[in-house]
Structure 1
Amino acid sequence: MQEILIISNYYPPEKGAAANRIEQLALKLNQNNYKVSVICPLGNYPKGKLFPEYKGKFSVTENRDNITVKRLWIYPSVSKNIFIRIVSVLSFSLSLFFYLLFKKTPQKVVVQSPPLLLSFISIFVLSLKNKKIILNVSDLWPLAAIELNALKKDSFSHKFSLFMERFVYKKATLILGQSKEIINHIKSLFPDKKCYLYRNFPDHKVENLDLITEENVPIKIFYAGLLGIAQGVLELCQKIDFRSLQDDKIELHIFGDGAEKTQIEALISSQKNKKIFFYGMMERNALHEKLKSFDIAIVPLKVRIYGSVPSKIFEYGSLGFPLLYFGGGEGEEIVKENKLGWVAKVEDYNDLNEKVHLISKLSKSELDLIKKAVFDQSQKVFNLDNQMNELIEKEVF
């Protein structure tokens, strides 16, 4: 049995797309007869506080579904103070540096990026040890940071990030990109680098459409995920227009946690005509059960981010939810190409509200037909097993 190590900044019981993505990769490799281990920080995300079971511990080794998970010390934080955030990233990076330097590790290693500093330190040590390095790139940093105004162009931090980005691409044996745009960007820097598309497909094991139709109730649009800067859910709540709709035809339901949570809760509590509802973070299986009686998943991005394809497209399309996509880029192309729902122009709230108005005119029977078509198409094109088998046949892992 071949051994393979995965290095990631997130892993369950932490919540969110990043943790789910890495767990799915680990489980699929295990199902294909790899002995898989994972190195990650002590569980703390998204609240930025250590989970109770990890408090007071420097490191923890666990077995989760036949995956050996080694959790290393971190100073957790989700502070908006950039200095504190850097200290947090550095704390785990240093723990990881010494672990990789002095501990025996498998010959094959998957490194998740971003965070860029984490992948830089990992690849620096692993390249010294002549490991096979499989770099899994889910977003393009520092490009995404510039587009989100989280980093100033041509600043020292930007230039150093560019250095780290080029270093990890150069030193990686091969690269998995979550989007075609990511692969095109890497190829523009290193034309001869071996790159493979690896979409963040889910593995729900749902063979039949399992959604519940509720007649004589409003159409329920939902957002489920991180409430961070990139998603712009607070602005969505402020600018989505339900006032022009009569007879309470449509509602917005929000599930998640993150930096904007408090402001979203305050906004909703101040509403006079409540058509926006907030539930907080839920465990994934419980969330999916709760959503069965809902109708449409909204997938927003605050700005169009080159290289980014939100995993919610695959996550909720595969459960049979039509999508209201509001993020531009490659994700928009996927939704249109596969007829998964409605697309509003990114940052254009007039266009978004026009789409909401169109949706409000649908009957539940019309929605049922749309759900069935989305489910069938997603089952056909978003197949994680087929994707993994193709990569194994190409000897990626």
Structure 2
Amino acid sequence: MRILFLSDNFPPEGNAPATRLYEHATRWVRAGHEVTVITCAPNFPEGKLFAGYRNAWRQVEWMDGIRVVRVKTYITANEGFLKRTLDYLSFMLMATFMSLFERRPDVVVATSPQFFCALAGWMVSVLKWRPFVFELRDLWPASIVAVGAMRKSLLIRLLEHLELFLYRRAAAVVSVTEAFRADLIARGVPACKVEVVINGVDLDRYEPRERDGILARQFDLEGRFVAGYIGTHGMAHALPKVLEAAELLRGRDDIAFFFAGSGAERAHVEQIVAARRLHNVRLIPRQPKEAMPALWSLCDLAIVPLRDTPVFTTVIPSKIFEAMGMGVPILMSLPEGEATSIVRATGSGVCVPPENPQAMAAEIARLADASAEMARLRRQARAAAPQFSRETLAQRMLAVLERVAAR
């Protein structure tokens, strides 16, 4: 089967969409399928080209058996609505145009969260006369309103009409959560069209390991209980509230907070740390994907925060699965929903109310003093990981693509 997949994120970018696609596609290739990914030059989230890449009209490379076609786009940092929209539109236009030079696939797949990419996927499917599969990673544009990037307006209503149009035109929608599936069905999308393939973890790479001694010494983390946040520093993540928790615990010299990543809120995080002189917070920039297991090894606890807004009851942050693979207990600080249910059911962590620094600080302090409970949480986190093996999930999504292509 020939699979043509459109995504504006792909390795060496290390965010969730890039990682999911790469880990799925490598397994599809090993199963004997041809996979071509149309993407852009890597630049997320800073809006700066990664070393060794150019923003050229068309570049082709091979990555672990995946044929990667990179197209020229308008590049900007992951901040500012207008500039990001220009980025999205430029990828939509270039990906659609460059697809004309690709062999006719058996199926066309495109991923959100921004669905100008999905719109490109639908247009390519029309041009190629092949079925279109929409991989739904976020309820966009609802999430734009939820984080305060835009208010309800005529433009949002138009985007919602476009969203529903794409759901109707897709031969199948692959949702990353059951909650997204329920939302689509409630809005009239046929249940038989919506499949769920949640995010997961590559257990070949993420497994329990001793704390990296070199990094621990470098960041002055030796002998400390480390609460870590690893990932995109975005508007959705309520990171200023996490820093308030750090401020409440600044008197505990045995507890440190560790932030690794970048994004729209990174500069704000750095300003808060400097202004409040939070000596118990360590900040490092975005690291390559290969470094993630070593960074996770520094953490005793994985902080997973989101803002207190209803749309985030439907979200499952992908970092919880990496934490499970590493055997790192999870501290959830987001609205009660599918994600908190997973953590409670697996016993892989604890939950506190979202945007509540007092509750977060109290729970971190309690766990720092509860070695027996932490040992139990570590065992349970690792035991839960095989349920979310990327190997199994890649096969599940492949079955959807094969079924659609065979129609």
TM over 0.5: yes
* Partner of residue 346, structure 1: 354
- How far has the Cα of 1:348 moved from its partner? 2.7
Paired residues, number: 392
Post-superposition Cα deviations, 1:308-366, rounded to whole Å, max 9, x if no partner, equal 21001111111111000112221111111111111011223332233223213223x55
Q: How does 1:144-223 map to 2 (within 5 A)?
A: 144-153=143-152, 155-188=153-186, 189-205=188-204, 209-212=208-211, 217-223=223-229
* Partner of residue 389, structure 2: 383
Task: State the secondary structure of the residue aligned to 1:289.
Answer: helix
Of 21-30 and 302-311, the range deviating more from structure 2: 302-311
User: Which consecutive residues of structure 1, in runs of 5 or more, have no partner in the other structure?
Assistant: none
The counterpart of 1:258, out of the listed 231, 254, 263, is 263
| 2:205–2:293 CA contact under 8 A, matched in 1 | no
- How far has the Cα of 1:80 moved from its partner? 4.0
- How far has the Cα of 1:206 moved from its partner? 5.4
- How far has the Cα of 1:255 moved from its partner? 0.2
CA gap of 1:392–1:120, structure 2 versus 1, over 3 A, is: closer
Letter in 1 for 2:168: K
Q: How does 1:193-342 map to 2 (within 5 A)?
A: 193-205=192-204, 209-212=208-211, 217-237=223-243, 239-243=244-248, 247-272=252-277, 274-304=279-309, 305-328=312-335, 329-342=337-350
- State how far apart, in whole Å, the 1-side matches of 2:384 and 2:124 are: 43
- How far has the Cα of 1:265 moved from its partner? 2.0
Letter in 2 for 1:382: F
* Partner of residue 69, structure 2: 70
- How far has the Cα of 1:89 moved from its partner? 1.6
- State how far apart, in whole Å, the 2-side matches of 1:243 and 1:128 are: 57
Task: State the secondary structure of the residue aligned to 2:110.
Answer: strand
Identity %: 24
- State how far apart, in whole Å, the 2-side matches of 1:115 and 1:211 are: 38
- State how far apart, in whole Å, the 2-side matches of 1:315 and 1:208 are: 9
Runs (4+) of structure 1 moved beyond 6 Å?
213-216
- State how far apart, in whole Å, the 1-side matches of 2:367 and 2:328 are: 13
| 1:299–1:324 CA contact under 8 A, matched in 2 | yes
CA gap of 1:291–1:56, structure 2 versus 1, over 3 A, is: closer
Of 206-215 and 27-36, the range deviating more from structure 2: 206-215
CA gap of 1:200–1:52, structure 2 versus 1, over 3 A, is: same
* Partner of residue 218, structure 2: none
- How far has the Cα of 1:253 moved from its partner? 0.3
- How far has the Cα of 1:377 moved from its partner? 2.0
| 1:26–1:67 CA contact under 8 A, matched in 2 | yes
- How far has the Cα of 1:82 moved from its partner? 2.8
Root-mean-square deviation over aligned CA pairs: 2.4
Task: State the secondary structure of the residue aligned to 1:152.
Answer: coil
1:83 paired to 2:82: yes
User: Which consecutive residues of structure 2, in runs of 5 or more, have no partner in the other structure?
Assistant: 214-220
* Partner of residue 357, structure 1: 365
- State how far apart, in whole Å, the 2-side matches of 1:13 and 1:210 are: 24
Decide which structure has greater helix share.
Answer: 2
- How far has the Cα of 1:92 moved from its partner? 1.4
| 1:75–1:88 CA contact under 8 A, matched in 2 | yes
| 1:116–1:161 CA contact under 8 A, matched in 2 | no
| 1:15–1:46 CA contact under 8 A, matched in 2 | no
Letter in 1 for 2:172: L
Task: State the secondary structure of the residue aligned to 1:376.
Answer: helix
Post-superposition Cα deviations, 1:141-175, rounded to whole Å, max 9, x if no partner, equal 1111122222221x121111111111110011111
Post-superposition Cα deviations, 1:280-321, rounded to whole Å, max 9, x if no partner, equal 111122231233242111011123424321001111111111
- State how far apart, in whole Å, the 1-side matches of 2:305 and 2:263 are: 15
